[in-house]
Structure 1
């Protein structure tokens, strides 16, 4: 089974969290699910560097990511692949971005993010955010 190392950003603006909805996928179990934006770590790339690159590629935004912004790591196995996902808390000054990879998005207060249909790997992050004092 293929294993991917990925990063994801918990983007926060004005007390709300950005929730991105995936589009169609060859894997039905992740199609149209909500997730935190990010992507795969390339060889010899730092986690923070990966996340900065992915946010620029997927959304056209520049966000400086520092190691102290680390939130949590999730290990998850889907039927066809497994991931290790490193997440970072990323406050942003604007809600403007370009949606290159996703179908839709919502900015929601922390208390409302659990109502969305999240990808299974993102569910532990949602649960931890609900218990945290981050937002």
Structure 2
């Protein structure tokens, strides 16, 4: 099972979502940005690297919020959602074709990647948006 990180970037009761580009696995699905942990990397280091590679931004990564395990056809993942603050919001997308700020109450209106759905539900519950 691969460990994958996901950034929970909150601002004004909104959270950052990114949409997978057409040439990516899970194309068209929305997700919390992040990616696979590489050997020897901490969860925090992974998420900082992924945000730099995928969005072109520096970040400060905080604590683990919740995890979600999911078995895709291409393999099982353990998705670890962590709080993150972006040091700037001038995003440069590489594996996504869109990035948006979504009100927590509206998260379930997006076609989220399956592993991200329990995380979105947890965020809504935690912040009283259900």
TM-score (norm 2): 0.90
Runs of 4+ in 1 over 4 A off after TM superposition: none
Out of 59, 68, 75, the residue aligned to residue 69 of structure 2 is 75
What is the CA-CA distance between 1:85 and the residue it aligns to?
1.0
Between the aligned partners of 1:58 and 1:26, the Cα distance in structure 2 is: 12
Q: Which runs of 5+ in 2 are unaligned?
A: none
Sort the Cα spacing of 1:20 and 1:37 in 2 relative to 1 into closer, same or farther, 3 A. same
Contact kept, 8 Å, 1:33 with 1:117, in 2: the verdict is yes
What is the CA-CA distance between 1:73 and the residue it aligns to?
1.0
Matches within 5 A, 1:25-40: 25=23, 27=25, 30-40=26-36
TM-score (norm 1): 0.86
Cα deviation, 1:79-130, whole Å, max 9, x if unaligned, reads 2211011111223464321111101122111001110000101000011011
Give 1 or 2: higher strand fraction. 2
Structure 1 position 47 matched with structure 2 position 43:
yes
Please state whether the residue corresponding to 1:128 is helix, strand or coil: helix
Corresponding residue of 1:13: 11
Corresponding residue of 1:57: 53
What is the CA-CA distance between 1:132 and the residue it aligns to?
0.6
Structure 1 position 23 matched with structure 2 position 26:
no
Corresponding residue of 1:95: 89
Aligned residues: 129
**Cα RMSD (Å):** 1.9
Q: Which runs of 5+ in 1 are unaligned?
A: none
Farther-moved stretch of structure 1 (17-26 vs 50-59): 17-26
What is the CA-CA distance between 1:15 and the residue it aligns to?
2.5
Between the aligned partners of 1:90 and 1:64, the Cα distance in structure 2 is: 6
Sort the Cα spacing of 1:134 and 1:54 in 2 relative to 1 into closer, same or farther, 3 A. farther
